[in-house]
Amino acid sequence: MFFIFEKIKINLKIFIKYGIVWLSWTAIDIWSLYIFVDLLGINLYIWVTLSFILAVINNFLLNKIWTFRDKSIKYKRQFAKFFIVSIIWFSLTMACMYVLVDILQIYYIYSKIITSIIVVLWNFLWNKYWTFKSKMKLDITQKDDFDIFLSVIIPAYNEEKRIIDTLNKVIKYLSNKDYNYEIIIINDWSKDKTNDIINKSFNDDRIKTISYNNNMWKWYAVKQWMLAGTWKYLLFMDADNSTPIEELDKLLYYKDEYDVIIWSRYMKNSNIIIKQSKFRIAISRVWNFIISLFLIDWITDTQCGFKLFQHNVAKNIFKFQKINWFWFDMEILFIAWIQWIKIKEVPVNWLNDFNSKLSPLKHSVKTLLELVYIKLNYFFDWYK
């Protein structure tokens, strides 16, 4: 029953988007119809024809990119289908306009409104189930036997002042659990004593340190271990432990129902114990709004540094990941979302670290470029 309601909800959302595209174009069409016919004296049926051509191009692009979020690269075939549907739509429109205007003598503006309402539902159904019909299948080699239940990956760059405290808390938490685990510290070419401190402080086979000879950024560390590990679940977290490791219990609670589980600072029940400055909060909210507007419209916090992945879907997500910088988070969530992978966002406790290395203004331009890059990858079907 839940699945049925969810399916109805999804289809209703798609229809509303389709309706918005149709309504926006219809409003422009009717207004331009008045200008060109009443004011400029252009023949009614000439304008209807011109309007049809513009509508086909406009509606095809908007419906493909926004309404149906279709990622197929078969543009010619889809446009041909869309054009055929539109030809029938145009024929119905002309027939209805003739009957309403010439036979029933109804004012042409009113006739246009009535005609648009008649054909929109028919048009939607054909485009949904014929033009943009697409069943996305995950190309995943399923694995059922795992050496390790949980792998915790902590990227570290110049973290000599914070890494020991974080590791002690993680070890204390995991040592009380009844599942096996490993902790992977990715030393990303630290210039300080991060690596030496870790090696001198811990003598545990479950704690592994991987060092790079160049600064590869967080994305590289996470991606390499995602693709190489033999774990069942993987958590990646920040070296500052801003989301306390104890919050993992809240994520694991949903592990049997969802494949990707993330925390959020901005959900209703989130508890920000140590807050950011008002400036950083404002910048963060602006970026989350932009991301929700252009990428994923329901996740409140894509940049969380505390994410849990199930093995089989993680392999599928990260092999498509392309961004090689700090904001890879929004890309992997977007890839998961367009592949219909089940994502759960959970409100958790969070403590701001005032020593954060991210500069909101300095990195904003690059973030915007990466957002555009993700959309281009999606539109041109480069995630393959």
**Is 137 domain-assigned?**
no
Please give the average per-residue pLDDT across 315-325, as a whole number: 81
Residue 304 vs residues 179, 243, 325: alpha-carbon distances, Å: 25, 9, 15
Is the domain of 104 the same as that of 179? no
* Residue where a domain stops, chosen among 131, 165, 182: 131
Please give the average per-residue pLDDT across 266-284, as a whole number: 67
Q: What is the pLDDT of residue 355?
A: 55
Instruction: Between 310 and 272, name the one with better pLDDT.
Output: 310
**Is 108 domain-assigned?**
yes
Is the domain of 164 the same as that of 112? no
Within 8 A by CB and 6+ apart from 329, the residues are 302, 303, 304, 305, 307
Kindly report the CATH number assigned to the domain that includes residue 189. Answer: 3.90.550.10
**Is 314 domain-assigned?**
yes
**Is 54 domain-assigned?**
yes
Q: What is the pLDDT of residue 177?
A: 94
3-state class of 118 per DSSP?
Answer: helix
Does the pLDDT of residue 260 top 60, yes or no?
yes
Check if the beta carbon of residue 137 is closer than 8 Å to that of residue 340.
no
Is the domain of 78 the same as that of 214? no
Percent of the chain exceeding pLDDT 90 equals 14
Is the domain of 286 the same as that of 331? yes
Please give the average per-residue pLDDT across 18-23, as a whole number: 81
264-273 pLDDT per residue, tens: 877 777 776 6
What is the pLDDT confidence band of residue 354, given thresholds at 50, 70 and 90? Answer: very low
* Residue where a domain stops, chosen among 131, 160, 183: 131
Is the domain of 99 the same as that of 194? no
Is the domain of 174 the same as that of 220? yes
Is the domain of 357 the same as that of 212? yes
Does the pLDDT of residue 225 top 80, yes or no?
no
93-136 pLDDT per residue, tens: 788 888 888 888 888 778 877 887 777 777 888 888 788 775 44
What is the pLDDT confidence band of residue 1, given thresholds at 50, 70 and 90? Answer: very low
Q: What is the pLDDT of residue 2?
A: 41
**Is 329 domain-assigned?**
yes
Check if the beta carbon of residue 348 is closer than 8 Å to that of residue 308.
no
**Is 384 domain-assigned?**
no
**Is 136 domain-assigned?**
no
Number of folded domains that form the chain: 2
Q: Which residue has the tokens 């599942």?
A: 179
Q: What is the pLDDT of residue 301?
A: 80
Mean per-residue pLDDT over the chain, rounded = 79
Is the domain of 177 the same as that of 68? no
The listed range with the strongest mean pLDDT (6-15, 159-168, 319-328) is 159-168
Does the pLDDT of residue 245 top 90, yes or no?
yes
CA–CA separation, 328 and 360 (whole Å): 16
Q: What is the pLDDT of residue 170?
A: 95
Is the domain of 234 the same as that of 358? yes
Please give the residue range of the domain that contains residue 252. 148-379
* Pick from 132-136, 230-234, 245-249: least confident: 132-136
* Residue where a domain stops, chosen among 131, 156, 182: 131
pTM: 0.64
**Is 139 domain-assigned?**
no
DSSP 217-279: HHHHHHHHHHHH--EEEEEE--TT-SS-GGGHHHHHTTTTT-SEEEEESSSTT-EEEEPPPHH
Q: What is the pLDDT of residue 136?
A: 47
Is the domain of 271 the same as that of 332? yes
Is the domain of 273 the same as that of 349? yes
Backbone angles phi, psi at 274, to 5 degrees: -115, 115
Please give the average per-residue pLDDT across 75-104, as a whole number: 83
Is the domain of 234 the same as that of 260? yes
Does the pLDDT of residue 75 top 90, yes or no?
no
